[in-house]
Amino acid sequence: MTGFAKNPARLVPLAFLAVILLGTLVLMLPIARAGSGSAPFMTALFVATSAVGVTGLSTVDTATYWSGFGQGTIYLLFHLGGFGIMSAATLLGMVVSRRIGLGRQLIVQAEARGIAPGDVRSVLKFVLFTALVVETLAVIVLTWRMMARGEPFAEALWHAAFHAGAAFTNAGFSNYTEGYSLYASDILAQIPIIAAVIIGGLGLPVLHDLRRGRRARWSLHTKLTLWGSAVLTLLGTLALLIFESSNPGTFGDMSLWEKALNALFFSVNTRSCGLNSVNMGAITEESMMLSYALMLIGAGSAGTGGGIKVTTVMILILAVWSELRGEPDTTAFGRRISPSILREAMTVTTLAAGVLMLATMALRVVTDLPLNALIFEAISAFGNVGLSMGITADLPVAGQWIIILLMYMGRVGIVTVATGLALRPRRADFRYPEERPIVG
């Protein structure tokens, strides 16, 4: 317990691992499978990890392989994973603000705004309230649209609840065999999903700031997250319109407004959720490369989405811009960004790139599937996105283990590493003489 007291971030990986193992055991029960017998261990473990990691990758068809009980278990698991990471990341941030020195603590508390350090009950209540409101509104609209397609009320309500929950938690699961492509031309069915994905992915600190409603007092974190998310969404949408407009396998046969709608849906979901309205195996190579970047960046910190986070990338971009202009400090919105924060952003990004490179090489060793599809699968797993080029079910057992590890590391690794960096000792008794190696 002494180790946990010194670094509470260690509790996060263990807690998520415990939920994954429990979910695996439940999914292995005969009642969880639609067919006869019980699910094999690897199938149950893969899906449980994907659900708790709010990823959405699966080696089986969620709609036909799992019974109502099994789908309900997956629904519960991705809610536990989504709420868990929002609460854990925020609460660990509070711990960090109490463990650091007084001067920096005051800065962190000022940036946190509406989230009082140690106010666990308030954080958890706000997470649950936000989820309840967003998902309820989405369920109402989606039930109406699904009934319009001829589904009975009870069936439409379950499909609506499942997709609304998957969207807000950024889980990417669908209990339709065709995925969400059934609603590729239905704006009223796509808008609630897009809204839920964005809100869930912004992160609790940002939602707290937005609730307070005083723009002038928004924290730097909120401003970076909102601007970064808006720019990524807009540029992703425009790029996908260019890359896919004439592609007969995706947007080619759609009207202009349908192309715009699906490009927006694609752009938002590629960064975090993983629900798809088009055949991912048919996208162009340009869209595939764009997807690599969007999936790796991901959503906001302390949100339900994965990736290295929007603020991490924004900080790195600002640092490059400051260096190009010859400015001594990295600044944004009238605030100076601490060099230690810049080092943390560089560390998280470098570690993520290293993990993905090693994982992709390992996947290449254990399977002869196309390299571009393996890269896509690895980034999707680590970024907890859930999109696939259709190769998940074809992975050998060794490949499935690699993807499981990537989903787990992507879900808890970023939070654990970031918190560990923030909690590490920051002062040394001496400093070495400075020297400037040649760069470039």
pLDDT digits (tens, 9 = 90+) for 21-50: 999 999 999 999 998 899 999 999 999 999
Span 294-324, pLDDT tens digits: 999 998 887 777 889 999 999 999 999 999 9
pLDDT of res. 85: 65
HEC string for 60-97: CCHHHHECHHHHHHHHHHHHHHHHHHHHHHHHHHHHHH
Stated pTM of the model: 0.88
What amino acid occupies position 94?
Answer: M
The Cα 154–Cα 310 span in angstroms is: 38
Q: Which of 3, 10, 12 lies closest to 302 in space, CA to CA?
A: 12
pLDDT of res. 250: 92
The tokens for 146 are 């699904």
Among 73-77, 214-218, 241-245, whose mean pLDDT is lowest?
Answer: 214-218
Span 122-165, pLDDT tens digits: 666 777 888 899 999 999 999 999 999 999 999 999 999 999 99
Sign of CA dihedral 293, 299, 300, 301: negative
Contact 271/357 with Cβ under 8 angstroms?
Answer: no
pLDDT of res. 93: 56
Contact 57/381 with Cβ under 8 angstroms?
Answer: yes
Return the bridge partners of 332, or none. 335
Give the rounded percent of residues in the chain with a pLDDT score beyond 70: 84
The Cα 191–Cα 164 span in angstroms is: 11
pLDDT, mean over the chain: 85
pLDDT of res. 94: 52
Region of 186 please: left (phi>0), alpha (psi -120 to 50) or beta.
beta
Q: Which of 395, 415, 418 lies closest to 43 in space, CA to CA?
A: 395
